Amino acid sequence: MKICVIDGMGGGIGNALIRKIIAAFREQVDIIALGTNAIATAQMMKAGANKGATGENAMVFTLPNVDVIVGSISIVLANSMMGEMTAAMAAAVASSPAPKLLLPLTQENVEVIGVSPEPLPHLVDHLVQNRLRAMVENASKSKE
């Protein structure tokens, strides 16, 4: 299963996601790190991603061919992350046929109503254990 983790700025959210995904699934998944900048990509590669690339073209080219996309809600907002997330990047995420598991974190002028504020580690645990686990297990069963 190909899991794409997208992050920008310093790559801290992507780093936390990748570490938790690796701890939960080890060799069952292939993690692709896509950064809006080289620092974010480097941080995600340091966390253990199998492959990594940076920038708009990398996202537009890669996202149609992954099984799941993971990141903060900012990855579907054009001009988020202080302008690092271009309109083409956000459109590539939104247009990908892959399911998107988005953390309700944003530094933008956006508020997701009905979501209680939780610390990043709790959100990452919930994403991996309650959402991604079922997807990985179903993908493993379908290969058998």
Report pLDDT digits (tens) over 18-68: 999 999 998 899 999 999 999 999 999 999 999 999 999 999 999 999 999
Q: How far apart are CA 16 and CA 108, in angstroms?
A: 20
Position 143 confidence tier, pLDDT thresholds 50, 70, 90? confident
Instruction: Give Cβ neighbours of residue 66 (< 8 Å, ≥ 6 apart).
Output: 2, 3, 4, 32, 96, 98
**What does the pLDDT read at residue 139?**
86
Q: Which residue has the tokens 């309650």?
A: 130
**Has residue 140 got a pLDDT over 90?**
no
In the predicted model, what is the mean pLDDT of residues 111-123?
A: 87
User: Are 96 and 125 in contact, with CB atoms under 8 Å apart?
Assistant: no
> What's the CATH code of the domain at 139?
3.40.50
Q: Which residue has the higher pLDDT, 23 or 138?
A: 23
pTM across the whole model: 0.93
**In terms of residue numbers, what domain contains 68?**
2-143
**What does the pLDDT read at residue 144?**
67
Q: Which residue has the higher pLDDT, 17 or 26?
A: 17
Q: Domains in the chain: how many in total?
A: 1
Tokens of 109: 């002028």
Q: How far apart are CA 93 and CA 66, in angstroms?
A: 11
pLDDT in tens, 68-101: 999 999 999 999 999 999 999 999 999 999 999 9
In the predicted model, what is the mean pLDDT of residues 96-123?
A: 88
**What does the pLDDT read at residue 77?**
95
Tokens of 15: 């780093």
